[in-house]
A = this chain, B = another copy of it.
Amino acid sequence: MEQNRKITIQDIAEKAKVSKSTVSRVLTSTARVADDKRAAVLKAMDELNYRPNIFARGLASGQSLTIGVLTQNFGSPFFDAILRGILQGLNGSSYSAIFTDGRWQAEMEEEALRTLLGRQVDGVIVVGGFSPGATLARVGEQAPIIVVGRRIAELADRCIWVDNYQAAYDVTRYLLDAGHRRIAHIAGTLSHEDAVARRDGYMRALQDAGIAVNRALIVEGDFRSHSGLMAVEMLFTRGEPFSAIFAANDQMAVGARLALHRRGIRVPQDVALVGFDNQVDSAYMVPPLTTVNQPAVEMGEAAARAMLQLLKHQPVQLPVFRTELVIRESVVRLQ
Q: Which residue numbers of A lie inside 8 Å of B, CB to CB?
A: 1-2, 51-56, 58-59, 64, 66, 74-75, 77, 80-81, 83-84, 87, 96-101, 115, 117-120, 141-142, 225-226, 228-229, 251, 254-255, 257-258, 261, 280-281, 283-288
Q: Assess whether B229 is in contact with A255, with CB atoms less than 8 Å apart.
A: no
Given contacts A59-B59, A229-B284, contact A75 B64 (CB under 8 A): no
Q: Which of B2, B54, B228 contacts A118 (CB 8 A)?
A: B54
Bound complex: CA of A142 vs CA of B51, how far in Å? 13
Please indicate the chain B residues that have their CB under 8 angstroms from the CB of A100 in the complex. 87, 96
Complex copy number for this chain: 2
Bound complex: CA of A251 vs CA of B81, how far in Å? 16
Q: Assess whether A99 is in contact with B101, with CB atoms less than 8 Å apart.
A: no
Q: Which of B80, B101, B119, B284 contacts A258 (CB 8 A)?
A: B284
**Who on chain B is nearest to A257 by CB?**
B286
| A interface: dominant SS | helix
Bound complex: CA of A119 vs CA of B81, how far in Å? 25
Q: Which of B54, B101, B141, B280 contacts A1 (CB 8 A)?
A: B141
Please indicate the chain B residues that have their CB under 8 angstroms from the CB of A228 in the complex. 284
Q: Assess whether B64 is in contact with A55, with CB atoms less than 8 Å apart.
A: yes
Bound complex: CA of A117 vs CA of B117, how far in Å? 22
Q: Which of B51, B120, B261, B283 contacts A54 (CB 8 A)?
A: B120
Please indicate the chain B residues that have their CB under 8 angstroms from the CB of A80 in the complex. 74-75, 80
**Nearest CB of chain B from residue A121's CB, rounded to whole Å:** 10
Please indicate the chain B residues that have their CB under 8 angstroms from the CB of A66 in the complex. 98
Q: Which of B54, B119, B141, B286 contacts A286 (CB 8 A)?
A: B286
Given contacts A58-B55, A118-B51, contact A254 B281 (CB under 8 A): yes
Given contacts A75-B280, A225-B280, contact A118 B286 (CB under 8 A): no
Given contacts A74-B84, A96-B115, contact A55 B261 (CB under 8 A): no
